[in-house]
Amino acid sequence: MQTHFTIDCVILTFDEGQLKILLAERNEYPYKDWWALPGYFVNKYEEMEDAVARILLEMTGLKDIYMDQLAAFAGVKRHPEGRILTVAYMALVQMDEVKNKISSGTAYMRQLKWFPVTELPDLAFDHKEIIELSLDRLKKSVNYSTTPYELLPAKFTLTQLQQVYEALLNKQLDKRNFRKKINNLGYLKELNEFQKGVSYRAAKLYSFDKKKFQKTFGQE
In the list 15, 18, 31, 46, the residue contacting a copy of itself (rule: CB under 8 A) is 46
Q: How many Å is the Cα radius of gyration of the chain?
A: 19
| CB 128 to DNA: min, Å | 29
Type of residue found at 87: V
As to burial, measured by CB atoms within 10 angstroms (0-12 exposed, 13-18 middle, 19+ buried), residue 93 is: buried
In the list 17, 82, 121, 186, the residue contacting a copy of itself (rule: CB under 8 A) is 82
The stretch near DNA (CB under 7 A) out of 5-13, 96-104, 105-113, 198-206 is 198-206
Q: What are phi and psi of 42, to 5 degrees?
A: -85, 140
Residue 97's region, left for phi above 0, alpha for psi from -120 to 50, else beta, is alpha
Nearer to DNA, 199 or 219 (CB): 199
85 is an interface residue for a copy of itself by CB under 8 A: yes
In the list 4, 54, 128, 212, the residue contacting a copy of itself (rule: CB under 8 A) is 4
In the list 2, 177, 192, 219, the residue contacting DNA (rule: CB under 7 A) is 177
Q: For residues 42 and 6, is the Cβ–Cβ distance under 8 A?
A: yes
Q: How many CB atoms lie within 10 A of CB 66?
A: 11
Q: Which does 175 bind (CB under 5 to 8 A by kind): a copy of itself, DNA, none?
A: DNA
Residues that bind a copy of itself (CB under 8 A): 1-5, 41-48, 69, 71-72, 74-76, 82-83, 85, 87
